Each structure stands twice: as structure tokens, then as C-alpha cells.
Amino acid sequence: MPRPTFSKLSAEQRLHTENCMERLGQEINAQGGSIGFDRYMQLVLHDPAVGYYHTQQPIFGKHGDFVTAPDSSVHLAYCIAHACAGLIQDDAQRNILEIGAGRGQLALDMLRYLHVWGTAPHKYYIFEPSETLRNAQRELLEEHMPESMSVVEWLPDLHAELGSAIVIANEVLDALPVKCFVSDLRQINERCVTLTDQGELDWHTQEPSYELDVALDYLTVMLDSPPAGELYCSEICLQLGETLAAWSGCCEQCIMFLIDYGYPQSEYYHPQRHMGTLRSYFRHRVAENLFAYPGLQDITADVDFSALAQAAGRLQMGVLSFSSQRNFMLANHLLDWRPAGETQAEQVAQIAQLKQLTLGSAVGERFQVMVLGKGIEYGPDRFTLRDMRTRL
């Protein structure tokens, strides 16, 4: 495993990652020498004091570590807004709840379109645990659409009663903590995180916890046939059910748009995908070492959409549609979009982005959109050109 080069970091960044390492060391020692990777991921991403999403360093855009679809173009916002506009026309009292709104670009672009179309929501709620990102969202909206501030409200938690709502989570599920495991045909073990004698983070293999062992029971057939001579390493998210319950629990009725990269289960745990999907990003590069810069690098894993559908079913939520992002966008008037750049160069760039989304690009096909309903029924053709629920 490549050793991190701390010379790449500023003094402020070094201090932050050192504080994160100290916090991890305390947790690992308190737990007898190792912690599950899900706990590691929770601390380095979401801890209010040392977590990645709470740092003052840039996260999104060219000065950060990665770019989300709303940051790179307006097209996704346009299409989600079209879907929301129809739902708001069906029920004028519908609110919108965005989970984890990043820099606020999706909220800004959607509210602009909905305002122009005369279909603004009763309220646009944002649930954002990071104070740093809340401030960035508020600053962006106040600067570019101050009139939206009467509609937008930030929720401190998800205990509010929002009535009928449209819930949007774009690239949020991929940041949920996951447990890691390894199979060698004879047994499955859990991959945990420990400290070496030199005080460096490293993998530690041990018997799986009861919770993980039970969760992996239904995957044993797929895990029993890794490529010859290879260990099978992957991950599983055990928090999908409680996450969906929290998001839907504040709504009497809701339509939920879940947009992320991922696969149905048979593809996620295919024998040839024997290194899993877990990866890290640092300054727009995939980092080989997941432990290089704790608290300063993004960690992400693809979404198992079959498990997501199963979790929704246990909550009595219906899967209304499942499709590629491309087919979702085409069904929601993507081809009606017209460039709105102030210069010809901006318009040309926007058209190029549109072509990338519509011509079967990796981005448009690797990202999936699952639409869930709680107390509301719609047919799949309302949301996609090609429904793929049978693949789940």
C-alpha cells in the first residue's frame, strides 16, 4: 500500500488529518485494537469535528476532489425539475426535501426552473448535516436567487412533519458507511481497520460480526465462485433500511428520487468484480490508499439497488421505476432543453454536455435513478423511457 505524502498538504490540512488520526487511534484502542470499516468511514467522512464533509477545505468542483452532475451542467436539474413540476401540479401543497445538497447548485437550478414554470413548491427543505456545506448553500442561494430564501428552509433534523413531499437524494447513498469482507472459497471474513506498530492505519481481517454474517447469507452463492486464484473482496451497506426510514418518516406521503452510481445485486457481486467498488478521491484522482489522508479524502462505494429495493419493500414503499439516468432524463424532457449560456462558448459547452448525456455515455448509463413511492402510485412511464425493475 503506497505511503501517503504529507508534503502535498498545507499546514491546515496536515493539522486536520493529524486530528483525525488521533480520533481514530482513540476509537481503535477503545474497541480493543480494530474497528469495522463502516465505523472508520463514519468517522473520517461524517464526524462533526474531523470528518471530510465538515472540513473547511474545498470538496466539490475544480478546487476540490470531485464533481457532481449538478456542478458540471444544468441538465440533471432541468429534468428533475420537470418531474417535480408535474408532481406539484398534481398537488400544489407538495414540498421538496433535498438530502445532502452539496454546494446547493441543484437546489438553485431547480428553483430557477420551477419559478419560471410557475410550479414552485410550497417549501424547499434541505437537510444538510454539515455546517460548512449549509453555509455554502445559503451563500449561493442568497447571491444568485435571493427571492428563493422565502421558500428554502434548512432542517436541523428529520423529525419535522412535511406532509406530502418530493424527496431528492443525488449522490448521497454512495457516502453511506459500508462493511468490508473477503472470501477465499472456504470462509468469509470481515476486513477491519487497525493501527500498525508504527502507528499507521492498515487492514485487519477477523471473523465477521453476527450482523455482517447474517447479511451475507443471501450472497454466498455469488461469493463462492471468485476467479481462480483470487480472493474476493467487496463491501455491503447495512444502513439502507434505517436511512430510507429516516428520509420517508417525516412525510405522510412522498415520491423519492434516488440518483447514484451502482448496479443490481447480480452485477454488483459478479465474480469478476472481485475487488469490490470501494474507492477514494483526492484532488480529482482515484487514491490507491484508502487510509492516506483521513478526513481529507472522499470515500465512496457503489449502490446495490437490489438491496435498496428490498429495504424499501420492508418499509411498505413501492419501487415505481428503476432506470439509467439517461433514460430518466430523456423521459423528463431533456431534448426540450435549450442552452442558456451568456456567451456562444458557454452555449456550445452546454450542447456538448447534452450530447454526452444522450448518446449512451458512461455517465448517463452508469448512474441509475430509482423512484420510490410512499402512499402514492404512479406508473413507470411517468419517470423513464425504459423501466428496468425486472433486473432487480
User: Domains along the chain?
Assistant: 1-178+240-392 (3.40.50.12710)
Q: pLDDT category, 162, cuts 50, 70, 90?
A: very high
Per the model's pLDDT, the better-predicted residue between 285 and 373 turns out to be: 373
Contacts of 152 (CB under 8 A, 6+ apart): 107, 111, 123, 124, 125, 126, 141
pLDDT reported for residue 10: 85
223 pLDDT higher than 90: no
* Amino acid 348: pLDDT: 72
Q: Taking residues 233-257, what's their average pLDDT? A: 97
85-107: average pLDDT: 94
Cα distance between residue 287 and residue 282, in whole Å:
6
pLDDT at 4: 53
Residue 52's pLDDT band, with cuts at 50, 70 and 90, is: very high
Mean pLDDT of 171-197: 93
Residue 282: predicted pLDDT: 85
Tell me what percent of the residues of the chain surpass a pLDDT of 70. 90
Task: Provide the b/e sequence for 78-87 (b: ≥16 CB within 10 Å).
Answer: bbbbbbbbeb
Average pLDDT over residues 24-52: 97
What gap in Å lies between CA 113 and CA 88, rounded to an integer?
13
pLDDT (mean) for 104-129: 96
Q: What average pLDDT does range 340-366 have in this prediction?
A: 68
Asked whether residue 364 carries a pLDDT value surpassing 70, the answer given is: no
Rounded mean pLDDT, 331-357: 76
Calculate mean pLDDT across residues 233-249.
Answer: 97
Q: Which three cell numbers stand for residue 80?
A: 428533475
d(CA 261, CA 243): 17
pLDDT value at residue 379: 96
Residues whose CB is less than 8 angstroms from the CB of residue 72 and which lie 6 or more positions away in sequence, other chains included: 353
Which tops the pLDDT comparison, 304 or 281?
304
Q: Is the pLDDT of residue 27 over 90?
A: yes
pLDDT classification of 169: cutoffs 50, 70, 90: very high
Q: Please compute the mean of the pLDDT values over residues 25-47 and round it to a whole number.
A: 97
At residue 243 the predicted structure's pLDDT band, cuts being 50, 70 and 90, is: very high
pLDDT tier, 8 (very low <50, low <70, confident <90, very high otherwise): confident
Residues forming a β-bridge with 233: 182
Mean pLDDT for the chain overall: 90
φ, ψ of residue 261 to 5 degrees: the values are -90, 145
Residue 353 reports pLDDT greater than 80: no
pLDDT of residue 219: 75
Per-residue model confidence (pLDDT) at position 5 = 54
Residue 359 has pLDDT above 90, yes or no: no
Please tell me the predicted confidence (pLDDT) of residue 352. Answer: 74
Output the pLDDT for position 357. Answer: 67
pLDDT recorded at residue 28 = 98
**Position 350 confidence tier, pLDDT thresholds 50, 70, 90:** confident
Cell numbers for 26, please give them.
Answer: 482513540
What is the pLDDT confidence band of residue 66, given thresholds at 50, 70 and 90? Answer: low
Q: Could you give the 3-state DSSP secondary structure of residue 228?
A: coil
The C-alpha cell at 27 is 476509537
CB < 8 Å & 24+ apart, contacts of 194-201: 194/28, 194/33, 194/34, 195/24, 195/25, 195/28, 195/29, 195/33, 199/25, 200/3, 200/291, 201/21, 201/24, 201/291, 201/294
Residue 163 to residues 86, 89, 285, 372, 374, Cα–Cα distance (Å): 18, 16, 42, 16, 11
62 pLDDT band, cuts 50/70/90, is: low
